[in-house]
Structure formats: C-alpha cells, structure tokens
Amino acid sequence: MFPAIESLAMTFPTLLADKNVDFWFPTQGSSFAEEVDWVYDLILYISLAFFVPMMAFMVWCLFKYIKARGTKAESQLSHHTTLELTWSIGPSVLLVWMFVQGSISFLDMRTPPEGSYDIGLQAFKWGWTMDYGNGTFHPELHIVKDEPTKLSMRSTDVIHSVFIPAFRAKKDVVPGRYNYMWFKPTVASEKISDEELAKLKKQSEGTSWDYDKHQVTPEGYTFFDLYCAEYCGTNHSEMQTAVVVHETQADLDAWIKANSSRGDVSMEEWGALLYARRGCSGCHSVDGSKLVGPSFKDLFGSQHGLTTGENQVVDENYVRESILAPKAKVVAGYQPVMPSYKGQLSDDDIASIIAYLKSISESAPTPSAEAEPEEESAE
C-alpha cells in the first residue's frame, strides 16, 4: 500500500532518533495499521521470493554461458508450453490475491462507521484548522482512543492531502468539495509532568514552540505527526501538525473547553495565540517581511492604497472587515487569496487580534471608542 511506502521514505532520516518509530514503520496507532502493514509485507515478501532467486539465477547464467569474444550467437527458438503456462498463471493468481487483500482494507478505510465522532478539518496554504464545534478551532487534531473518528475535510485554496503515518491513513483535501476520512486510534498520547513541561517552556521562551525538538505539544502531550502529502507551494514542507489521542471522551471535552475561549488570558496574548494558531502566520509576518500578505508589523494605524486606487487607513473597522470579508477591500500589490474567517472567529477573537496588531505597531493611535477599556501596553 502506498501509505506504508511513503511513511517509510518520510521517516527514514529520523528512523533512529524518533521513538515513535519501530524498526521499519511508525508506531501502529490505529485499527488500520495492522491490516495495512500485513498487505505491505505480503506484497514485499512475494516480490522478494521472486526477485532474489531470479537475480541469482541470472548472475549464475552470466558465468555459466560466458563465451569468448567473437563467438557467433546461435538462435534458440524453442517452446515449452507447460513452463510458459506456469509462469503466466502462477503470478496472475498471486496478483489477484494481492489485489483482493488490498481492496478489502481499502473499502474498510473508505467507509466511516455510523455514529463516528465528527471533526471538521480545513486545509489552507499552509496549515490546518480543526473545527471542534461551538466556535472552537485549533491547529492540532485532538481525538479519543478507541473512538471511530471521522474528519470532514475541505480546502480553502489548492489540493492538500492529510497523511497520518502512524494511523496508515491518507486522503486528499480538494477545494470546492467535502472529502471524508476516518480511523480508530488505538494508542493514547502521554502527558509529561508539569515540571518537565515548565523546563521545556523555559528553553523555548521567546521563540515559537518546536514540536520536532521537544516531541510534545505546548500542553505537554506526546503526539503523532500529521503532514500534508500533496505538494502545495512554498511552505508545503511546514504544513504539519500534531495528533493527540486522549484516553477518554471526558479528557477531550475538558481540552476543548479549555481551548474554546480566551479565559483569563489578556486580549493581546490571545490575539498573538490566534495569530499563530489560526494560520495568519502562514501569510502575514510580524517582522516586516512580505509573505503572501502584508506584514502585521506597524500595520495598525498606517495607510496604504487599495486595488481600486483608493487610500485606506488601517483602523478597527477595516481590520474587522479584512478578516470577515477579505475580498471587499484588497491591498494594492496583493492577490485576493485570504480566506474569510466569518463564523470562525468570535467578536472577542477579532478584538483580541486588533489588540495584538496595536501592540506590534509603532503608529497605533490611542485606543478608540470601540476598543476594550484595557490598559495599553506602550512598549
């Protein structure tokens, strides 16, 4: 099966370093894994059983029938019906067997069971947003052990592909339609101790969280990898996220609740979190460099032209409109490729993003009437 081959190719360089990888394949993390690996092994060993003796025989013939230079070649036009039937029918039977075995697993993977736990997945250049319902969105995929889980997937731009090597699951995400995939995770994530997590947090202070280096999420869970497996542009290789498998539904519910709203985090901090979590960082830098979209550094309070030729001041209303209806006013020199976040960011979320934009803008004016009466940190 393709997932197995690709997972091997992808994990090979990190094979020895990664504790999630057995000798040959990633951990068997879902109910599909055993089946897929079995079919893979079946095909591999049948191929080896033919390849090795054939090559050995060929090399043996090379030496056995070697002739001196200049010897005239003889014609060998003879025919052996039994031999020819054997080498045609034998392999055909084996091929059909491989096909049937592969199809059985394939059909199983195609059909989500009734009553699966449904999570929305949105793919975009270049990241992922999972929709847990009730306005809770997060780039990480959080699911429950032994619970059949279905992903309802869509793309805002080009074709992406969800690939979770440990689950042996992969499916394309195509713009303009919903695609579905499902799996039943069988291995739960572990959580490291609070002290260990605090240590890691300290190490990575001031930088973004390095999943590869720490091998746990910012909340301290071990995780499986989720990659984009369809080349989709410049930052395709960074289109990765973590899959965390919770022990019980109650654990997942608690996690969703904790991530559903700002809680007692300040607006500015929440805005920064949303910037990182909701994919803005894929298109907008905060260091002044131009990516797919304009940088957020010193954006708030500045002025620039629109594609219509009009001049636009970046204020609260304009930012709000840019997030909810990005195509209404397009910045001159940019393509109208930003997805709308309508229905995905609450009023509080948008106000938090505005607070964050102000905090990284020199020219941000004093808080206007619309902004929260929160103390402005003038750095």
> Residue 18 is encoded by which pair of tokens?
């990664």
Q: Between residue 239 and residue 298, which ones bind Cu ion under the rule CB under 5 A? A: 239
Collapse the DSSP code of 125 into the 3-class scheme (helix H, G, I; strand E, B; otherwise coil) and give the result: coil
CA–CA distance, 34 with 168 (Å, rounded to integer): 9
Tell me the window of 68-76, 152-160, 200-208, 334-342 that interacts with Cu ion (CB under 5 A): 152-160
CA atoms within 13 A on the CB side of 159: 6
Strand pairing category for 117-124 and 149-155: parallel
Least Å distance, CB 318 to ligand HEC, is 7
**Residue 239's binding partner out of Cu ion, ligand HEC, none, with CB under 5 to 8 Å set by partner kind:** Cu ion
Q: Which is nearer to ligand HEC, 3 or 271 (CB)?
A: 271
- Tell me which of 43, 299, 355, 364 binds ligand HEC, using CB under 6 A: 299
> 334: closest CA among 293, 283, 303, 287?
293
From residue 250 to residue 289, what is the string marking binding to ligand HEC with x (rule CB under 6 A)? ----------------------------xxx-xxx-----
Q: In angstroms, rounded to a whole number, what is the distance separating the alpha carbons of residues 336 and 319?
A: 15
Which CB, 112 or 279, lies closer to ligand HEC? 279
Q: Among 81-89, 135-143, 237-245, 333-341, which window interacts with ligand HEC (CB under 6 A)?
A: 333-341
* Residue 307 C-beta: closest distance to ligand HEC, Å: 8
> For residues 26 and 279, which CB has a smaller minimum distance to ligand HEC in the complex?
279
Structure tokens at 204: 């990575």
Q: Does 351 bind Cu ion (CB under 5 A)?
A: no
**Shortest distance, CB of residue 2 to Cu ion, whole angstroms?**
17
Among 109, 84, 143, which residue's Cα sits nearest to residue 3? Answer: 109
Q: Which of 121, 197, 232, 351 binds Cu ion (CB under 5 A)?
A: 232
**Closest CB to ligand HEC among residues 237, 335:** 335
Residues 154-173 binding Cu ion (CB under 5 A) are: 160
Is position 228 an interface residue for Cu ion (rule: CB under 5 A)? yes
CB–CB of 195/186 below 8 Å? no
Residue type, 374: E
Q: Which does 232 bind (CB under 5 to 8 A by kind): Cu ion, ligand HEC, none?
A: Cu ion
Q: Which of residues 3, 25, 102, 125 is near ligand HEC by CB under 6 A? A: 125
153 forms part of the interface with Cu ion (CB under 5 A): no
* 241 belongs to the binding site for ligand HEC (CB under 6 A): no
Integer angstrom CA distances of residue 309 from 305, 306, 330:
6, 5, 10
Least distance (Å) from ligand HEC to the CB of residue 55?
50
Tokens standing for residue 174: 């195509």
Q: Which of 90, 175, 305, 336 binds ligand HEC (CB under 6 A)?
A: 336
142 binds, among ligand HEC, Cu ion, none (CB under 5 to 8 A by kind): none
DSSP per residue, 270-334: HHHHHHHHSSHHHH--SSS---SS---TTTTT-EEEBTTS-EEE--HHHHHHHHH-TTTS-BTTS
Residue closer to Cu ion (CB basis): 228 or 360: 228
* DSSP code per residue over 58-90: HHHHHHHT---TTPPPPP-----HHHHHHHHHH
Residues 6+ apart with CB under 8 A from 377: 268, 359
Task: Tell whether residue 319 is a contact of ligand HEC (CB under 6 A).
Answer: yes
Residue ranges binding Cu ion (CB under 5 A): 160, 228, 232, 239
